[in-house]
Structure 1
Amino acid sequence: MPDERSTHPSEIRRLLGDGDPSPVTVINPEGHSPFLLIGDHAGNAIPTVLGTMGLTEDDRHRHIAWDIGTAQLGDELARMLDATFIHQHYSRLVIDCNRAPDRADAFPETSDGSTISGNAGLTAEDRARRIGEIHEPYQRAIADAIEAKGRDTILVSLHSFTPRMDGVDRPWHIGVLHDGANDRFALAMLRTLEARQHLIVGDNEPYVMDDTDYTVPRHAFSRSMPYVELEVSQSELARNGGVARWSQVLTECLRACQSA
């Protein structure tokens, strides 16, 4: 059985302590590429004061806690593209940075059969601490990078998905998500990936970009900014050389779409 969380959330005055990682990391902030890479779910850390949140060690390392492989993929793409990569360190189970903070599923109480007891009975103050110390610093870093890069920025949101969910296989190697708002670049990426006939490419699969998404709409839609949200199968990234292979594929496709 997992250990109980060390402190009830309502007893916490500050969420992140001196030994906890920063909520956001910016890789290659001076990158010259117009691409701005982001990783909403790249980390699986839990603030020390929250203990395990009732999670087993296995749960903390499986797909419910984070998008496995996206930190490594983003690091490699940042190097190959000379792009800036912004990602946050904390598990989506602490707060989901790709959800509006006023949504209930920003603080999930269950996920794919697991109970997250550390999210039961959260008060408004509990939520406010997670928003103020994790969610907003991450979103602010993205806004600051866009402001610094200027109007030619292309937002690339990196995610990964489990190849089997709720007992259903997901055959796609990669999915391209878009929502009809200035989605010319996203659709160009979809066509470019589909042209690689060895790939199974999902068009708004295995997820649909809709009103559950937060980061891309917040930053790209209001600015009419070109964007693409990519979902790569975790089985692909976990293969020997998988991150290197997908970094090469995505670098080639992103550059082709930029040129076009």
Structure 2
Amino acid sequence: MASKHPWPEVVTLQHEPLLGAEDPPVFRIVNPAGRSAVLLTADHAGRAIPRRLGDLGLSDRQLASHGAWDLGVDGLGLLLAARLDAFLILHNYSRLVIDANRPPLAPDSIVSHCEQSVIAANVTIDTAGRRRRLEELFHPYHRRIAAELETRQGQARPSVLVTLHSFTPVLGEDVRPWHVGVLHGRDGRLARRVREGLQREPGLRVGDNQPYAVSDASDHTLVVHGEGRRIPHVELEVRQDLLASESGRQAWARRLAGVLENALAEGFPSHPEGPASIR
């Protein structure tokens, strides 16, 4: 099956690379031999910036804010991977450099502002600079996810994609009352099971595609690697204040592990057209 989101043409770069020897790797793999069918991703787990880009002209406060990364999701991912014995991949770079969960051609793939501040290095970026960020910081991450899923398919091993995010309790003047959001696009079968499992917990406010909704224009990881491959998939968004402490992260890892295990114990939701590969 041809992908609905073909990879943009990869151009061989002739100029100096963006990443240097002192920069961290693009992504981190945890528990690569995990036995669970679940594959966990954390697109916004890091806030590194290539040394060549400095601080993007932003303050320390801005670089530590939700605009730069998903607070708490790295710790949640590590705990959940351990509980499920699952493969986990975490992107190490700030979404202010390039967003690992935006389609490469989306206007907000490289954002122009953080809060009210202009990111000059992003506003003035040229085509070559954009390609360099894609080639060095975006494509390696998604190629690694694709390689893992293709290896599993070759081994006739089931795969379930679970993408992890966190959301700010207050955005502008909007107060978000949900504790967790369960997101999906066209295929909501696994999401429905997970949402129903979470809704059984007293006092828990569960958002159905809230505070965000998955779409081809706004999401890449779930759409390409989940929908495109026709494997079971769900995106989970936990409110950041609930992940601010180690005890909070432990509680959410325990809760999400139990809900996911129960949802998958019912059997793997199969796409009516069968699995597909993206090449």
Counterpart residue number, 1:206: 211
**Residues 34, 149 of structure 1: 8 Å contact kept:** no
Counterpart residue number, 1:194: 199
Counterpart residue number, 1:81: 84
Instruction: Map residues 37-186 of structure 1 onto 2, 5 A cutoff.
Output: 37-150=40-153, 151-181=157-187, 183-186=188-191
Deviations 1:161-187 (A, max 9, x none): 000001211011000001122x21111
Residues 149-158 or 130-139, more deviating: 149-158
Q: CA deviation at 1:43?
A: 0.3
> Could you tell me how far apart the structure 1 residues matched to 2:29 and 2:220 are?
20
1:234 lines up with 2:240 in the alignment:
yes
SS at match of 2:201: coil
The CA RMSD measured in Å over matched residues stands at 1.1
Q: CA deviation at 1:101?
A: 1.0
**Residues 31, 82 of structure 1: 8 Å contact kept:** yes
SS at match of 1:104: coil
Structure 1 unaligned blocks of 5 or more: 1-11
> Could you tell me how far apart the structure 2 residues matched to 1:53 and 1:45 are?
11
SS at match of 1:106: coil
Counterpart residue number, 1:7: none
Deviations 1:139-179 (A, max 9, x none): 01111111222351000000000000012110110000011
Structure 1 stretches of 4+ moved >4 Å: none
**Residues 112, 166 of structure 1: 8 Å contact kept:** no
TM-score of the superposition, structure 1-length normalised?
A: 0.93
SS at match of 1:241: helix
> Could you tell me how far apart the structure 2 residues matched to 1:198 and 1:81 are?
25
> Could you tell me how far apart the structure 2 residues matched to 1:196 and 1:75 are?
23
Corresponding letter in the other structure for 1:57: D
> Could you tell me how far apart the structure 2 residues matched to 1:56 and 1:255 are?
41
Corresponding letter in the other structure for 2:83: M
Q: CA deviation at 1:239?
A: 3.9
**Residues 215, 223 of structure 2: 8 Å contact kept:** no
> Could you tell me how far apart the structure 2 residues matched to 1:114 and 1:175 are?
28
Percentage identity across paired residues of the two chains: 42
Q: CA deviation at 1:240?
A: 5.3
Q: CA deviation at 1:116?
A: 1.7
**Residues 34, 83 of structure 1: 8 Å contact kept:** yes
